[in-house]
Structure formats: structure tokens, C-alpha cells
């Protein structure tokens, strides 16, 4: 690619500032390194983790430098490959996690590591592909860490609670759990009760009702695991609702969550609050993409925004009431 080829992108120059800090710029199209592919972007999605990076919550690790182009999920077409890339060629449709290079999705082009890129089947649209990586992998990881859970539906049925089940991670958690040996209780807002039921949840609670606020199963079940996608629930709310060895997986852990987890480990507590620390893996993304291809899970998409209005998508994500995923397309 000619070195003077330019692209549109959205970036911010410092921590904080929310949607107002996003700047529309023209930049040189990046060149892929030996183990990278250059993608002509078709879609990306916004995750809570993107917002946490902007707020400085993962300082000093991310972003690695300013200015920073956010966006971790990517769906697009391979435009150019690095000299060491063996499994992709120009024209291939793919889904990728841009995590290891700290983002880049809010642009017309982005580079991805070959080992975090998977082929996108023709049955999967760019929007479906972009909605999947971080949210789907987080839900999948929580289930893999739940003792006794499996997708073969063998063994004892597990009782799972999924909070904020109409959100990006929650929607996948419900669907994936129902592909396995789980009875699912879910919480969401009143307007999304029917949606969450349609995703397969066995019991759905409005989080604003007394039982919803207390996280109590309508059938009186104790939870073997909780995939906690909401905020604002103290450990004391979870504890009486857990089975003897119940685990709560917090997908957006705060420092207090890590402190609680450490204390529980020191005291050999059987009930535990577990901060989710996830490392994306190519084989797991490919596994989930096949579920999408086969129609076993679907992406619930809240809204689609052009790159020229990326700040509207960002503000909607900050608001925290999206139903499913927020997509941005170049």
C-alpha cells in the first residue's frame, strides 16, 4: 500500500472526557507487521472495557500511548498480510480481537495479530461478527470456569444467575448457558423481560422489584454460579443466594472485588467472588463463531452508527442501558 494513503479514524488524546473527548482525524493507514493482517474494517462494537480504558482504570497498562484509537472487536476484509502470515490472504472475510495492540477498531483500517484472527463464514454478517468477540468470549469464559458446566448437557443440571442479561455479555451468557446443562435465572429491566425470555432464560426478574433487587430465584433455587454483568450489588446480596460452593464471576471487577476475592481465598471460603480476567484465544473465538454460523446463538444488536457519529455510539454505551451490542461501521 502506498505510504501516503490516508484513512478516517476516531481517537482521544488523554484519559477521561467521555464522548466529547473523541476526535475525528485523518491518519496514515497502518502497515501490518510480520505476524499481522491489515483489515479494511466493516464493523466494530463498543464494550465496557473500552470505556474503562478511557477512564484510566487500567492505567498504566492501557492504552500504551496517546493518541489512542479505541475499539477491540473487529469484522472486516483482509486487505494486506504481513510477510509471516500463512493462514490468510487479501479478500478473506474475518473476525478479530484487536486486544493485543490495544484497539484501533474506530477507523477505516486496523491491524490485527494473525493469532487473534479467525475466518468469518458467509452465514455470519459483519455486524454479527463484530458483536461477538469480547462479549461472547467473556460469557464463554465464565461458563468454562463454572465447575460441572458442559455443552454436552451431561451431568447434574446447574442453577445459574445472569445479571444485566439484556446487555452485551448477558445476552450471550443466557444463550450459551442454555446450550449446556444449566437452568438460567436472569435479571434485566422491565422493557427487556420478553427479550431475555426469548433468548432462553427459564426465569426472568425485573431488577427493580424487591425479588429482583434481592436476586432471589422465583423457584427458590440456590445458584451454583452467577455471571455478574451488572454493577451495584454488594457481596452480601449474593451470598445468601449461593449454593454451598457457589461462585460469582464479576466481569467488570473493581479494586474492592479483588480485595474480597483475596480475603475469601485466605479464609478458605467455599463461596467466592471471582474477578474475571480474560485472555482472548483464537480457538475459543472460532468455537463461538461456529455457534453463530449454526444459528445456536445470535447477536442482539441495539443500534448501528456510522463512524462519522461514533461519539453518539460512545455516549449510548456510557449511558449503560443498551439492549445488546452497539455497532459502529466505517
DSSP 178-226: HHTTEEEEEEE-GGGHHHHHHTT-SEEEETTSHHHHHT--TT-PPEEEE
Both 14 and 86 in one domain: the answer is: yes
Sign of CA dihedral 59, 113, 285, 245: negative
When pLDDT is averaged across residues 46-57 and rounded to a whole number, the result is 89
Which of 102-132 are b and which e, b meaning 16 or more Cβ less than 10 Å from the residue's Cβ? bbbbbbbbbbbbbbbbbebeeebbbbbbbbb
Residue 82's pLDDT is what?
Answer: 96
> Is the per-residue pLDDT at 297 higher than 90?
yes
Q: Total domain count for the chain?
A: 2
In a domain, 281, yes or no: no
Task: Place 2 in a pLDDT band, splitting at 50, 70 and 90.
Answer: very low
Task: Place 1 in a pLDDT band, splitting at 50, 70 and 90.
Answer: low
In a domain, 111, yes or no: yes
First to last CA, the chain: 19
Query: 225 is in which domain, residue-wise?
Result: 136-275
Query: 3-state class of 147 per DSSP?
Result: coil
Task: Place 55 in a pLDDT band, splitting at 50, 70 and 90.
Answer: confident
Both 99 and 146 in one domain: the answer is: no
**Domain CATH for 172:** 3.40.50.720
In a domain, 239, yes or no: yes
Residue 103's pLDDT is what?
Answer: 78
Tens digit of pLDDT for each residue in 71-120? Answer: 999 999 999 999 999 999 999 999 999 975 567 999 999 999 999 999 99
> Is the per-residue pLDDT at 161 higher than 70?
yes
40-44, 178-182, 198-202, 253-257: segment of lowest average pLDDT: 253-257
Amino acid at each position: 500500500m502506498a505510504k501516503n494513503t490516508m484513512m478516517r479514524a476516531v481517537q482521544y488524546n488523554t484519559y477521561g472526557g467521555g464522548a466529547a473527548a473523541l476526535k475525528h482525524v485523518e491518519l496514515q493507514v497502518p502497515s501490518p507487521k510480520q505476524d499481522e493482517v491489515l483489515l479494511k474494517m466493516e464493523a466494530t462494537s463498543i464494550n465496557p472495557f473500552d470505556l474503562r480504558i478511557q477512564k484510566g482504570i487500567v492505567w498504566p497498562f492501557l492504552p500504551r500511548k496517546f493518541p489512542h484509537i479505541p475499539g477491540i472487536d473487529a469484522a472486516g476484509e483482509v486487505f494486506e498480510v504481513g510477510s509471516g502470515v500463512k493462514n490468510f490472504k487479501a479478500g478473506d472475510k474475518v473476525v478479530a480481537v484487536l486486544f493485543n495492540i490495544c484497539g484501533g477498531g474506530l477507523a477505516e483500517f486496523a491491524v490485527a495479530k494473525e493469532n487473534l484472527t479467525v475466518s468469518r463464514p458467509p452465514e455470519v454478517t459483519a455486524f454479527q461478527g463484530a458483536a461477538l468477540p469480547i462479549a461472547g468470549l467473556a460469557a464463554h469464559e465464565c461458563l468454562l470456569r463454572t465447575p460441572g458446566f458442559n455443552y454436552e448437557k451431561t451431568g447434574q443440571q446447574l442453577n445459574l444467575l445472569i445479571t444485566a442479561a439484556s446487555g452485551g455479555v448477558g445476552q450471550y451468557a443466557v444463550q450459551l448457558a442454555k446450550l449446556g446443562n444449566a437452568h438460567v435465572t436472569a435479571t434485566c429491566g422491565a422493557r427487556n423481560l420478553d427479550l431475555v425470555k426469548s433468548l432462553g432464560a427459564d426465569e426472568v426478574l425485573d431488577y427493580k422489584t424487591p425479588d429482583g433487587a434481592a436476586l432471589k430465584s422465583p423457584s427458590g433455587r440456590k445458584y451454583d454460579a452467577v455471571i455478574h454483568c451488572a454493577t451495584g450489588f454488594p457481596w452480601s446480596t449474593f451470598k445468601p443466594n449461593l449454593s454451598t460452593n457457589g461462585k460469582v464471576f464479576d466481569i467488570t471487577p473493581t479494586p474492592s472485588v479483588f480485595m474480597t476475592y483475596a480475603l475469601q481465598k485466605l479464609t478458605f471460603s467455599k463461596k467466592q467472588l471471582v474477578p474475571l480476567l480474560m485472555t482472548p484465544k483464537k480457538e475459543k473465538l472460532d468455537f463461538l463463531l461456529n455457534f453463530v454460523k449454526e444459528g445456536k446463538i445470535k447477536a442482539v444488536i441495539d443500534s448501528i452508527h456510522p463512524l462519522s457519529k461514533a461519539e453518539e455510539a460512545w455516549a449510548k454505551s456510557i449511558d449503560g442501558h443498551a439492549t445488546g451490542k452497539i455497532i459502529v461501521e466505517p
